[in-house]
Structure 1
Amino acid sequence: MVYHEEACCSLSIPNLAMSMKSILIFGNYLEDSRNILKVKKTATKQRLLRRNRMEVVGFLCNLPQTEHDLNCMTVDVIKQTESMLCFSVQGYFKEVGQSFNSTIRAFYRTFVLVPGSSGSIYIINDQMVIKSASHKQVQKAFSKPAVSSGPDSAGSSDSLPCKYDEMITTLSQNTGMNTVWAQKCLQENDWNFKQATEVFNYFKGKGAVPLEAFKM
């Protein structure tokens, strides 16, 4: 499952107050929030709406590396027709290898999928909402051992099959990125090596790849 050529993606932080507490909790996401109750300028609203596959994948690749609590994750189907599937995913996550990695956040993500050729399916719309987790949610999150999640997990590459490990190493060598960011780039591109390379080259040309991606 990959993003459609004309896909759209946005991130929003609801009930956001511009305070030091908000900066500490959402610092890595504040500048990307498209909360239309807070963002008034039309140009800014347009800029924060990622359009087309390259922009969407590049935006997701530049988000902080995260670990999700798969035990608490829930999926709900909102609507299904012959030409469209809409479902939501909600749960908790924390950042990996970041200064805010102890902060547990709640998220709600809505996907709209459409069929493609030869039985394929594409994400046409991806709306992401990130919230501060309540005290009760923080106590609940990550309270059980993580279940195995396969190659799409955000864990160490040591737990991945050899073929994925080789792809991470090769992409890291070809691009100069560290293995953490190489893995992240591949995961966001559904382990499509060619597409991951194209996305990297596209955003490197725009100077949009963070320096953190090259720190060994």
Structure 2
Amino acid sequence: MWLQKEMMLCFSVSGVFEEIEATSQGCFRAFTRTFIITPGSSGCLCIVNDHLFVRDARPDEIRVAFSMPVATPCFSSRSSLSEERLRMVQAFSIQSGMTFEWSQKCLEDNEWNYSRAGESFMVLQDKIPREAFKSTP
């Protein structure tokens, strides 16, 4: 988040992804998506501006993005997650700063809809307990 005012919120999300389409398979791209959000009616948020920038990823970005160590499971439901959901939880944990368990709960509560989980996080982040977030050294 790079700007927060009473009537406006501006933030960017960045990352790296691998294209899986047959014509572009193996191509790694970096992206930055920037949002400007204002309060809407009935307590909703309204995206008034959304910019997406995509470029070829640098080798160091690819290495960092795809060499993420898989954390040791600390409770049984982690092992029952599909590979896709495990990746979703790991990505959500990185982007939100929440622990794996809280990130999984947020995604489960939003029926594994990543966008909706992100919106819920943005709306409720001031109400989320501190223990939900990774401790910083």
Q: Which has the higher contact order (CA 8 A, sep 6+)?
A: 1
Structure 2 length-normalised TM:
0.49
Larger Rg: 1
Structure 1 length-normalised TM:
0.33
